């Protein structure tokens, strides 16, 4: 998948989630804004209530989306015969899509009424979604191969090019400017204060400032705008790689701890969801069949 196709793919998935939320909100706003005590008298109560045709259908579809998202992604990671069917990265993104769209439908299935054992499943689902967002952030910080395999520290270091040699071979810089560029790509995290995430944010803005300084230095050396952009891009890539090397071990440890938090909530959600469906069927609730 090309970069443009991937951007369109991500934009499409995000748009579906956002538009679904907006559509469901707009369609049922009158009912959902009615107090729980008075909903029985609402003209659309039999349509939007959790056991209603629309509300019940949202619960069924939302549950199926979550189950497909969870077990489909797990199957892709564990079964080799699925290896030719796209990269793991794209499956992860589709897993996130389904496990975002499903909870939205279940939220409207509940008609914003939470209680009993089902509330445990619902809040576990919310915890899974929130932890999934955090996990996605950690995941993209860990360098991987094109197939999605996690790279070791030595493999990441081998990706580093010799920026100094490239500058000497293709661009004529004075000694001071040459040293300024090389200093810009060195790891300099010790200057950043605060906790881990505040250091990441601080480093981001520091790197942006460094790139602007590099561009100014290059222009003073008479480089054209095209060459300035090329060198600035190389410097940016080198800085990004240095940052990843610096954070690699920390991110790998965080990812291990993340699984400890994410998986139990997912299991609780699925177990109570199964119990909820079983009880619903036992009491004779059916949808359109």
**Residue 148 covered by a domain:** yes
Give me the domain span that covers residue 34: 3-152+253-282
Phi and psi angles of residue 4, each rounded to the nearest 5 degrees, phi first: -65, -45
CA distance 24 to 28: 6
**Residue 199 covered by a domain:** yes
Residue 158 burial (C-beta neighbours within 10 Å; 0-12, 13-18, 19+) = exposed
Q: Do 140 and 28 belong to one domain?
A: yes
**Residue 289 covered by a domain:** no
261-285 average pLDDT score: 79
**Residue 287 covered by a domain:** no
| pLDDT value, residue 151 | 58
Q: Do 16 and 128 belong to one domain?
A: yes
**Residue 21 covered by a domain:** yes
CA distance 259 to 17: 25
Q: What tens digit of pLDDT does each residue of 79-120 get?
A: 878 777 877 778 888 988 998 898 899 889 888 887 767 677
Q: Do 161 and 188 belong to one domain?
A: yes
**Residue 266 covered by a domain:** yes
**Residue 48 covered by a domain:** yes
Give how many domains the chain has, as a whole number: 2
Q: Do 276 and 203 belong to one domain?
A: no
Q: How confident is the model at residue 144 (pLDDT cuts 50, 70, 90)?
A: low
| pLDDT value, residue 5 | 86
| pLDDT value, residue 169 | 63
Do the Cβ atoms of 245 and 156 come closer than 8 Å?
Answer: yes
Q: Do 144 and 158 belong to one domain?
A: no
Q: Do 53 and 148 belong to one domain?
A: yes
**Residue 288 covered by a domain:** no
Q: What tens digit of pLDDT does each residue of 185-229 get?
A: 665 544 445 555 666 677 777 777 777 877 777 777 776 777 777
| pLDDT value, residue 189 | 45
Of 5 and 183, the one with more pLDDT: 5
């Amino acid at each position: 998948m090309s970069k443009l196709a991937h951007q369109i793919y991500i934009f499409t998935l995000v748009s579906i989630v956002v538009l679904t939320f907006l559509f469901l909100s707009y369609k049922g706003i009158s009912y959902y804004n009615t107090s729980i005590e008075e909903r029985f008298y609402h003209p659309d109560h039999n349509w939007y209530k959790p056991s209603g045709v629309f509300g019940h259908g949202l619960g069924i579809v939302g549950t199926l989306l979550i189950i497909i998202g969870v077990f489909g992604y797990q199957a892709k990671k564990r079964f080799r015969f699925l290896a030719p069917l796209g990269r793991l990265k794209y499956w992860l993104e589709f897993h996130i899509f389904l496990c975002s769209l499903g909870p939205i439908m279940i939220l409207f299935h509940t008609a914003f009424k939470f209680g009993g054992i089902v509330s445990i499943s619902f809040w576990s689902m919310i915890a899974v979604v929130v932890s999934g967002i955090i996990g996605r952030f950690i995941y993209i910080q860990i360098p991987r191969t094109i197939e999605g395999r996690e790279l070791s520290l030595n493999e990441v270091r081998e990706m580093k090019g010799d920026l100094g040699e490239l500058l000497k071979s293709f661009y004529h810089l004075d000694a001071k400017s040459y040293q300024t560029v090389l200093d810009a790509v060195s790891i300099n995290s010790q200057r950043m204060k605060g906790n881990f995430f505040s250091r990441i944010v601080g480093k981001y803005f520091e790197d942006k400032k460094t790139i602007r300084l590099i561009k100014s230095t290059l222009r003073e050396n008479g480089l054209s705008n095209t060459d300035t952009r090329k060198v600035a891009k190389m410097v940016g890539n080198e800085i990004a790689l240095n940052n990843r090397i610096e954070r690699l071990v920390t991110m790998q440890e965080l990812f291990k701890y993340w699984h400890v938090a994410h998986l139990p909530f997912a299991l609780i959600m699925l177990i109570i969801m199964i119990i909820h469906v079983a009880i619903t069927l036992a009491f004779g609730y059916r949808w359109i069949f």
